[in-house]
Amino acid sequence: MYKRELMNLNLWLLTLCQGLFLTNNVTFIAINGLVGLSLAPLGWMATLPVMGYVVGGALSTGLVAKTQKRFGRKTSFQLGLAVAMGSALLCAWAAYTSQFWLLVGATLIAGYYNANAQLYRFAAAELAVPAFKEKAVSLVMAGGLIGAIAGPNLAAYTRNLSVVPFAGAYLALAGVALLAMLLLAGIRFPPVPVQTAHSGGRPLGVIMRQPAFIVAAAAGALGYGVMNLLMAATPIAMQVCGLAFSDTALVLQWHVIGMFAPGFFTGHLIRRFGTLPVMGVGLMLNILCVMVALSGVSLHEFLVALFLVGIGWNFLFTGATALALTTYRPEEKDKAQGALNFCVFAVLAMTSLASGVLVTTQGWQLLNLGSLLPLALTGAALVWLAWQKRRPAALA
């Protein structure tokens, strides 16, 4: 009974850490594009601070995998939070001194925290019994609801905390990182089994050639990329359309609610209906989001579209994570998870840049039309894996 209660406590603490991580992310998304727009030499460079965050994440995946293997989950996660605190303070200084490239550099450094905290969902599976893995992943991801509420409100309430717009928000994020460090100190992660600690398992190339791994990486990365493409452009698009920042904060809040509220039941749906059907529903919700976004640019169209893409992302990304868990052994987790996160961050980096370029030069409509291509590729990947799974049965 004690072990079960301890496991639940660990999961809830990790869920809170996930919520604070998303508070950081949502605040970054809400303000980085706007701060970038006010400081950038050219308009199309506005989302470079957003891009810096994900490029930093991509560049950090290998280093994070090594620190996770060398020092374990807890120490590595604490190191990520220390970087989050320092980079937030650096962002505040960049805003105070109106240094655009320092802001980009600070968000690049913050990417290490991004890459580190993206492993919370995998750590959740290790804190649960095998039969509860999918639900544990889903539960921890549901912690993002904290970010849905805290992130936009933090950005809105601290916007004018100082004479420099949004500098106070960056300072508040340093406090958020400190709080997460205190919570993480109470989590007890399971030790790495001795027999697997010094074993590398199969080569990464062998792991990555598995059909399930290919689809998990592709669907996770492309689904995240489409969501990021639309989300990063939304604050700028709404400002161009003459909507107030309070409206932007409301849209982002409901978007993140859509991203993480399903976490309370997505794991159950995966256990009952299977991974691919849930991911397929997520894909259809993404397509519906694009249709709504193309129908108009009022507050309600922005709100409904971003809410739908949030739910679609949850189904796709949670499903991709659950699918990935079936493709590697315990001794292979660091390199396999690092490869999966690198794919996600590489696509996020491209969509962050494309988001700023498209929304400032071509407009909101063309940006949404462009998102249909990665959605089509995601659909093709899901169909291909379903066909691969049926082949052995048909041959038998």
Instruction: Report the CATH number at residue 355.
Output: 1.20.1250.20
Reported pTM: 0.76
**pLDDT at residue number 293:** 93
92 belongs to a structural domain: yes
Q: In the structure encoding, which two tokens stand for residue 141, read together?
A: 């991801």
Tell me, what's the pLDDT at 129? 77
Is 352 within the bounds of a domain? yes
* Residues above pLDDT 70, as percent of the chain: 94
Q: What is the pLDDT of residue 31?
A: 83
Quick one: 334 exposed, middle or buried, by C-beta within 10 A (0-12, 13-18, 19+)? buried
Please enumerate in sequence order all residues whose Cβ is within 8 A of that of 85, keeping only pairs 6 or more positions apart, or say none. 174, 177, 178, 181
Other CB atoms within a 10 A radius of the CB of residue 176 amount to 23
**Nearest-CA neighbor of 93 among 171, 36, 23, 17?**
171
**Would you say residue 198 lies in a domain?**
no
Query: Total domain count for the chain?
Result: 1
234-283 pLDDT, tens digit each: 888 888 888 887 898 889 889 888 988 898 888 889 989 999 999 999 99
- Does 325 fall in a domain? yes
Alpha helices in the chain (DSSP H): 2-39, 48-97, 100-117, 120-126, 133-142, 144-157, 167-184, 194-197, 204-208, 211-240, 245-260, 266-273, 275-295, 299-324, 333-361, 364-370, 372-395
Exposure string (b/e) for 286-317, b if CB count within 10 Å is 16 or more? Answer: bbbbbebbeeebebebbbbbbbbbbbbbbbbb
| Residue 2: pLDDT band with limits 50, 70, 90 | very low
Q: Is the pLDDT of residue 194 over 60?
A: no
| pLDDT of 199 over the 70 cut | no
At 319 the three-state DSSP class reads helix
How far apart are alpha carbons 354 and 221 in whole angstroms? 15
Supply the pLDDT for residue 92.
92
Structure tokens at 100: 């655009």
Give the per-residue pLDDT at 81: 97
In a domain, 196, yes or no: no
**The dihedral sign for the CA sequence 39, 41, 45, 49:** negative
Please state, rounded to an integer, the average pLDDT across all residues of the chain: 87
The larger pLDDT score, comparing residue 16 to residue 235, is at 16
Question: Residue 175 and residue 156: Cα distance in Å, rounded?
Answer: 16
What pLDDT is attached to residue 357? 77
In the chain, pLDDT over 90 holds for what percent of residues?
44
Asked whether the CA dihedral 46, 47, 51, 52 is positive or negative, the reply is positive
Residue 195 within any structural domain of the chain: no
Residue 231: predicted pLDDT = 85
Tokens for 229, please give them: 């493409």
Query: Which residue range forms the structural domain that includes residue 93?
Result: 2-190+203-395
| Confidence check: pLDDT of 336 > 50 | yes
Residue 129 falls within a domain, yes or no? yes
* Token reading at 225: 């990329």
Instruction: Reply yes or no on whether the pLDDT at 396 is more than 50.
Output: no
| C-alpha to C-alpha distance for 334 and 64, rounded to whole angstroms | 9
